[in-house]
Amino acid sequence: MDEDMLEAAREYAEKHGFSVGEPLGSGIHGRVWMLLREGAPVSALKIHREIAAYRRERKVYVRLKECGVREVRGLSVPELIRFDDPISTGHPSSPMRFGRSGLGRTKINSAMTGRWCR
């Protein structure tokens, strides 16, 4: 499985003009690698093990970006750069790690974000 995920990371990187650098971490939902452009680190890439975890995380990132949320209680929210739905290896990808996340039924609006983020 890890070799498949590394191959998915390489495929994504090549598609977008990057190369895959060193691994940055792994967890129950996927693995994260440094993305390089001309040998310099520019971003991070997460390859997910399962489509459900990818879709949940993607929804969180999209909603946070739509609401302009950049910080939550003093912690920076990684910026969503782009996402790709499952590629040929079957592993979906997204740019940064958000850990386990979920939205539930809560709708985020500007009044709410003012209470817990800057």
**CATH top-level class of 2-116:** alpha beta
Domain boundaries, the chain: 2-116
Residue 113 makes CB contacts below 8 A (sequence gap 6+) with: 67, 68, 69
Whether the pLDDT of residue 64 is over 50: the answer is yes
State the pLDDT at residue 39: 93
Give the confidence band of 93 by pLDDT, cuts at 50, 70, 90: low
**What mean pLDDT do residues 16-28 have?**
93
The pTM of the full predicted model, rounded to 2 decimals, is 0.69
pLDDT of residue 8: 87
Percent of the chain predicted with pLDDT > 70: 71
The mean pLDDT of 72-100, rounded to a whole number, is 65
Helix or strand run (H / E) with residue 38: none
Contact status, residue 56 vs residue 102, Cβ threshold 8 Å: yes
Amino acid making up residue 87: I
